[in-house]
């Protein structure tokens, strides 16, 4: 069975079931945690410090690295691109992962199940066994309501996996504020116990499901019968087959995320201050750019279908079902740091001076800025039409293109092609494309953007270019 058929079948399964079958892998690039500041150790007054330089104590913490910074785009009810300044929007596209997220509204503490996008609604978790379908108060009813109304122009809404939901967390935001970008997700509930459900069952106790709290932050689990919040997602694929490769040199590569991992656990336990230089000074398989992973990177190798340990030991033998340090300080209390527990897959906090946690180093993970190398993108005015042309030098894993038009540079961009324009280039050879836009107004300036889509559904936008059609450009023009 070829990969395209597998992708379609898994997408259909996710659509109809509303739950994830393959939650062990995160398909696509991992966004940065959002933490850009650096902090002292347990005994330094727990204040912000100037970020250390290589070789200095505490170098290698999260704030020293920015890898795949978060980036979002607002979309309207039809999926068209809106400017960042838009006062209202329907969905949000994560430009790093390619996932599209539901936007919430009306956070006024009043539950309204007639409006599935009401921020205050809470639901029990439903998987075909737990919950009561049809009464509007479980997660499957919520997903059915979104798909029935073709919300945001999509019929494939589902609950996110716990890894997908975790990508939205901004670990640079202090406690008591929603740990999420409120410029794009303004109505996120931030309160004690404000868990957001994922589609991932807690393997250690299957009467519970995993979720994320944006109050401080943590990945934890609650009984499926409890009422908690939701945020739907569409697009992407929540897992894939054969994503790990054993390199035979003490390392494992994750083809989905681009990360290379130390295959075995470091030989002893460390406190956080000592875990940092262990990774920075590691020379393994001919590489010297190892570092302590962020919590999001470390979570990416958790296998949530397993427990004790919650990882595939075929690829990571000897993993201890205990805590592994991340590089990310807890912004709610900077004497603490996040760690991933490979007994149950949870993400928890611990004092930096605790000497009993393990370490697994990582390297790489940067995403390619675009799947294509664009050599030209032009719009030529004609009488009553615009000819749009673009050329590429190379195309890597490119599926095709979309074109968007707007009547001002910062207004909503409307997609003008009815079907994806298929890619014609390759990783070694580019191609030329043209498109005629006949739905234009003469003597009116139009703005165009070009979007390329990769194999994982991740978009990259180019432009804009502008043009003003005229009444007459000469006979035959």
Q: Which domains does the chain have, with CATH numbers?
A: 1-32+67-241 (no CATH), 242-367 (3.10.100), 372-467 (2.60.40.10)
pLDDT cut 70: percent of the chain above it: 86
How high is the pLDDT of residue 435?
Answer: 96
Q: Counting Cβ atoms within 10 Å, is residue 453 exposed (0-12), middle (13-18) or buried (19+)?
A: buried
pLDDT at position 429 over 90: no
pLDDT at position 8 over 70: no
Q: Work out the pLDDT band at 39, boundaries 50, 70, 90.
A: very high
Instruction: Choose the weakest-confidence range: 197-211, 224-238, 322-336, 342-356.
Output: 224-238
The CA-atom distances, in angstroms, between 41 and each of 66, 188, 298, 329 are 21, 31, 21, 10
pLDDT at position 134 over 50: yes
Give which of 221, 229, 217, 212 is closest to 178, Cα–Cα. 217
User: What is the distance, to the nearest Å, from the Cα of residue 352 to the centroid of all Cα atoms in its chain?
Assistant: 28
Strand duo 48-49 + 218-223: pairing: unpaired
Instruction: Provide the 3-class DSSP secondary structure of residue 128.
Output: coil
Q: Counting Cβ atoms within 10 Å, is residue 380 exposed (0-12), middle (13-18) or buried (19+)?
A: middle
Task: Tell me how far apart the alpha carbons of residues 235 and 117 are, in angstroms, rounded to a whole number.
Answer: 18
The CA-atom distances, in angstroms, between 356 and each of 276, 290, 324, 387 are 14, 21, 9, 64
Q: Counting Cβ atoms within 10 Å, is residue 248 exposed (0-12), middle (13-18) or buried (19+)?
A: exposed
User: For the residues 170-198, what does the mean pLDDT come to?
Assistant: 89
Q: Work out the pLDDT band at 253, boundaries 50, 70, 90.
A: very high
Mean pLDDT of the chain: 86
Task: Tell me how far apart the alpha carbons of residues 289 and 262 are, in angstroms, rounded to a whole number.
Answer: 12
pLDDT at position 19 over 80: no
User: Which backbone phi and psi does 255 adopt, to 5 degrees?
Assistant: -65, -25
The DSSP code for 160 is: P
Task: Tell me how far apart the alpha carbons of residues 367 and 361 are, in angstroms, rounded to a whole number.
Answer: 19
Instruction: Provide the 3-class DSSP secondary structure of residue 81.
Output: strand
Q: In which element (H, E) is residue 142 found?
A: helix 139-148
Q: Work out the pLDDT band at 3, boundaries 50, 70, 90.
A: very low
Give which of 271, 452, 366, 395 is closest to 30, Cα–Cα. 366
pLDDT at position 238 over 50: no
Q: Work out the pLDDT band at 367, boundaries 50, 70, 90.
A: low
Higher pLDDT: 167 or 15? It is 167
Higher pLDDT: 94 or 471? It is 94
How high is the pLDDT of residue 262?
Answer: 98
Q: Work out the pLDDT band at 177, boundaries 50, 70, 90.
A: confident
Contact partners, residue 405, CB within 8 Å, separation at least 6: 413, 414, 416, 437, 440, 446, 447, 448
How high is the pLDDT of residue 237?
Answer: 55
H-helix segments, 374-457? none
Q: Work out the pLDDT band at 6, boundaries 50, 70, 90.
A: very low
Q: Work out the pLDDT band at 132, boundaries 50, 70, 90.
A: low
How high is the pLDDT of residue 17?
Answer: 36
Answer for the pair 456, 404: CB distance below 8 angstroms, yes or no. no
């Amino acid at each position: 069975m070829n990969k395209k058929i597998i992708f379609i079948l898994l997408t259909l399964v996710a659509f109809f079931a509303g739950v994830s079958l393959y939650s062990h892998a995160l398909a696509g690039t991992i966004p940065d945690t959002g933490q850009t500041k650096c902090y002292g150790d347990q005994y330094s007054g727990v204040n912000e410090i100037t970020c250390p330089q290589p070789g200095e104590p505490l170098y290698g913490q999260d704030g020293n690295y920015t890898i795949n910074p978060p980036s979002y785009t607002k979309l309207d009810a039809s999926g068209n691109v809106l400017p960042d300044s838009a006062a209202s929007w329907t969905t949000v596209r994560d430009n790093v992962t390619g996932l599209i997220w539901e936007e919430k509204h009306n956070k006024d503490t009043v539950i309204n199940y007639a409006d599935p996008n009401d921020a205050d609604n809470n639901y029990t978790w439903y998987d075909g066994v737990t919950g009561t379908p049809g009464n509007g108060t479980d997660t499957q009813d919520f997903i059915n309501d979104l798909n029935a109304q073709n919300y945001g122009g999509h019929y494939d809404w589902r609950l996110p996996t716990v890894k997908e939901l975790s990508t939205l967390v901004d670990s640079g935001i202090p406690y008591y504020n929603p740990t999420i970008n409120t410029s794009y997700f303004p109505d996120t509930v931030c309160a004690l116990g404000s868990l957001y459900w994922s589609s991932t069952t807690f393997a250690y106790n299957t009467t519970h499901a995993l979720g994320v709290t944006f109050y401080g932050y943590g990945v934890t689990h609650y009984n499926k019968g409890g009422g908690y919040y939701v945020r739907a997602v569409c697009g992407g694929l929540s897992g894939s087959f054969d994503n790990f490769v054993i390199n035979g040199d003490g390392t494992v590569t994750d083809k989905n995320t681009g990360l290379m991992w130390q295959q075995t656990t470091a030989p002893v336990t460390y406190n956080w201050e000592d875990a940092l230089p262990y990774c920075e000074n590691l020379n393994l398989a001919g590489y010297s750019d190892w570092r302590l992973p962020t919590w999001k990177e470390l979570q990416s190798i958790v296998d949530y279908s397993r427990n004790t340990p919650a990882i595939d030991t075929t690829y990571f033998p000897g993993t201890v079902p205990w805590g592994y340090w991340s590089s990310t300080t807890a912004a709610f209390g900077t004497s603490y740091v996040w760690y991933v527990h490979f007994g149950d897959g949870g993400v928890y906090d611990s004092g930096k001076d605790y000497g009993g946690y393990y370490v697994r180093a990582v390297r790489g993970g940067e995403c390619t800025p675009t799947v294509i190398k664009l050599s030209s993108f032009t719009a030529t005015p004609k009488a009553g039409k615009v000819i749009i042309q673009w050329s590429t030098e190379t195309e890597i894993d490119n599926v095709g293109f979309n074109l968007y038009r707007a009547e001002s540079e910062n207004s909503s961009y409307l997609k003008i092609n009815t079907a994806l324009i298929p890619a014609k280039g390759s990783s070694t050879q580019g191609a030329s494309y043209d498109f005629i836009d006949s739905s234009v107004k003469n003597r009116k300036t139009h703005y165009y953007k070009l979007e390329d889509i990769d194999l994982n559904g991740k978009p990259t936008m180019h432009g804009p270019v502008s043009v003003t059609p005229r009444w007459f450009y000469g006979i035959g023009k």
